[in-house]
């Protein structure tokens, strides 16, 4: 029988802001680069807030900050690709997280890209890539939840995955 443990008042912490971010730093999340081909060219960002929604039809979601230039490009194009990174892609994750002083097209020059059905950039050596048509956007707090129907998939399908935990990247 499972025993429930009641938290003591001294163990409780406010759930907002820094305390929430610190708690979320303990959660391991797969690392992805979300890309699109917008009117102003290719755009992309590193993301960990990605999840499947349904397999019939295949549907994915990604959460993106409302002020993101990548979000604006995705909304303009109506398409995006979720590229799940392997453990050899730490540098690419850093580049698309804007930690390497590269912007725009210069970030895409650091890897090999192809396209599938939507025209969004697909990382040639992604573990898996979900090429999505944008079907809905939900506004929640400071972010937008993008829901996309998967219209094509790519990727190499082998190798260790990359996760982000405790504000750093590691292999699984």
What's the pLDDT tens digit per position in 44-58? 999 999 999 999 999
User: What is the pLDDT at residue 18?
Assistant: 87
Using the structure block, give the residue that is written with the tokens 């994915």. Answer: 60
User: What is the pLDDT at residue 19?
Assistant: 87
Q: 57: Cβ–Cβ under 8 A, 6 or more apart, which residues?
A: 149, 150
This prediction has a pTM of 0.90
Q: Which residue, 68, 119, 75, is CA-closest to 96?
A: 68
Q: Beta-strand (E) ranges in 89-142? A: 113-115, 121-123, 128-140
Q: Which CATH number fits domain 30-171: 1.10.520.10, 2.30.110.10, 3.30.460.20, 3.10.129.10?
A: 2.30.110.10
β partners of residue 169: 164
Contacts 24+ apart (CB under 8 A), 101-107: 104/41, 104/42, 104/43, 105/41, 105/42, 107/44
Residue pair 127/86 in contact by the 8 Å Cβ criterion: yes
């Amino acid at each position: 029988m499972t025993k429930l443990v009641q938290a003591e008042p001294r163990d409780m912490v406010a759930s907002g802001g820094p305390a929430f971010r610190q708690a979320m730093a303990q959660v391991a999340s797969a690392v992805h680069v979300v890309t699109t081909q917008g009117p102003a060219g290719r755009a992309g960002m590193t993301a960990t807030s990605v999840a499947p929604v349904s397999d019939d039809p295949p549907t994915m979601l990604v959460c993106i900050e409302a002020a993101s230039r990548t979000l604006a490009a995705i909304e303009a194009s109506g398409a995006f690709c979720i590229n799940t990174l392997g453990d050899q892609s730490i540098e690419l994750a850093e580049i698309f997280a804007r930690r390497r002083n590269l912007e725009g097209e210069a970030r895409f020059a650091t890897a090999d890209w192809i396209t599938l059905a939507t025209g969004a950039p697909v990382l040639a050596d992604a573990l898996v890539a979900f090429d999505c048509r944008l079907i809905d956007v939900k506004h929640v707090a400071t972010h937008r939840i993008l829901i996309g129907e998967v219209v094509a998939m790519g990727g190499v399908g082998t190798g260790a995955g990359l996760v982000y935990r405790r504000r750093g990247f590691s292999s699984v």
